[in-house]
């Protein structure tokens, strides 16, 4: 439903900039920073500019990309039916250039809330808020400050601090992300301390996720695709790293399957609970739209895994 409403709002703007993105169904975006945003940068275009991507359809349908985010927000989607107390912060992908806001955002929240999980969609800062491939110079660029990670850590603290308000268990808050968002999942799972100065009491809460799900994560090797033998050294895996589930297609042409294999090996070496599912077909950026490829049935794998962790009732 969120997909249909969002698409109808922009149908006349095929592959062109649209009005600023807004969540559907009466949901409200909440700014995550109460005042000055750390390491703020000026917008490169209209704030939250929305573009319909028809030239790269997924499961036969276009998807919506949001660009030029300088004021990050979170949108809370309460669970439908029985509340499990668990919550998941969703990080859409987009190469740290934009955000696949429906394909890897609102559609994911529709699924999670149907399982009794509170979903929190993070609209983190882009572009350039994390490691990204710059086509102009044909190389990976690593920004001085990972501002998307700042946004993720801040959001996790806010949820824990206001857990009673959102009717969630502060010990059952996880993260789930795709592509660049998958890299953000690994980044927040391996950074036990905040990378920004404390703002308020929410920043006194732990910023470690209780569990993490990364789908086709990007930027996981030491030198992007040129060296797939070593893990990105910024991801310092320890025994305190979050329990993780990894999902990847072996024929992914954008983020090679070795990215997940490297992270899996590091987690296993550190005795971190980790589960990985690799599929022969699926490519990249499939989201959770069902296709003939078995990989698109991954949500059931996540539900089973969360049950084994005790985050939701086992099915």
pLDDT tens readout for residues 45-82: 999 999 999 999 999 999 999 999 999 999 999 999 89
- The answer as to whether 126 is a domain residue is yes
- The answer as to whether 53 is a domain residue is yes
CA–CA separation, 74 and 89 (whole Å): 9
- The answer as to whether 314 is a domain residue is no
- The answer as to whether 104 is a domain residue is yes
Q: What is the C-alpha radius of gyration for the chain, rounded to an integer number of angstroms?
A: 18
Q: What is the pLDDT of residues 77-105, one digit of tens each?
A: 999 989 999 999 999 999 999 999 999 99
Whether 134 shows a pLDDT value over 80: the answer reads: no
Beta pairing partners, 214: 177, 246
- The answer as to whether 117 is a domain residue is yes
The predicted structure's pLDDT at residue 29: 96
- The answer as to whether 184 is a domain residue is yes
Q: How many domains does the chain have?
A: 1
Q: Is 129 helix (H, G, I), strand (E, B) or coil?
A: coil
- The answer as to whether 161 is a domain residue is yes
Tell me, what CATH number does 204's domain have? 3.40.50.1820
The predicted structure's pLDDT at residue 18: 52
- Report, as an integer, the average pLDDT of 103-123: 98
- The answer as to whether 315 is a domain residue is no
Helices (H), the chain: 2-8, 107-114, 147-161, 163-166, 180-190, 258-269, 298-309
The predicted structure's pLDDT at residue 190: 98
The answer to which of 7-11, 35-39, 177-181 has the lowest mean pLDDT is 7-11
Q: What percent of the chain lies above the pLDDT cut of 90?
A: 86
Question: Which pTM value belongs to this model?
Answer: 0.93
- Report, as an integer, the average pLDDT of 181-203: 97
Domain with 25, as residue range(s), is 2-309
């Amino acid at each position: 439903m969120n997909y249909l409403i969002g698409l109808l709002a922009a149908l006349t703007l095929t592959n062109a900039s649209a009005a600023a993105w807004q969540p559907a169904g009466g949901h409200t975006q909440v700014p995550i920073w109460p005042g000055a945003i750390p390491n703020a940068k000026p917008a490169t275009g209209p704030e939250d500019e929305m573009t319909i991507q028809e030239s790269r359809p997924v499961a036969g349908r276009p998807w919506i990309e949001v660009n030029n985010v300088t004021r990050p927000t979170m949108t809370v989607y309460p669970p439908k039916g029985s509340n499990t107390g668990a919550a998941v912060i969703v990080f859409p992908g987009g190469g740290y250039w934009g955000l696949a806001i429906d394909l890897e955002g609102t559609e994911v929240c529709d699924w999670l809330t149907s399982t009794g999980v509170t979903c929190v969609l993070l609209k983190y800062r882009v572009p350039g808020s994390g490691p990204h491939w710059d086509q102009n110079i044909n190389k990976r660029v690593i920004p001085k400050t990972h501002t998307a990670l700042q946004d993720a850590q801040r959001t996790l603290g806010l949820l824990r601090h206001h857990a009673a308000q959102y009717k969630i268990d502060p010990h059952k808050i996880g993260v789930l992300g795709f592509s660049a968002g998958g890299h953000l999942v690994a980044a927040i799972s391996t950074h036990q301390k905040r990378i920004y100065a404390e703002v308020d009491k929410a920043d006194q809460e732990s910023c470690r996720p209780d569990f993490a799900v990364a789908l086709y994560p990007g930027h996981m090797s030491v030198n992007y695709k040129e060296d797939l033998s070593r893990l990105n050294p910024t991801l310092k895996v320890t025994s305190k790293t979050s329990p993780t589930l990894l999902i990847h297609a072996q024929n992914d042409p954008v983020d090679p399957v070795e990215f997940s294999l490297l992270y899996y090996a590091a987690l296993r070496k550190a005795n971190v609970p980790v589960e990985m599912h690799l599929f022969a077909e699926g490519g990249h950026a499939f989201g959770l739209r069902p296709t003939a490829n078995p990989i698109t049935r991954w949500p059931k794998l996540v539900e089973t895994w969360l049950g084994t962790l005790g985050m939701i009732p086992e099915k």
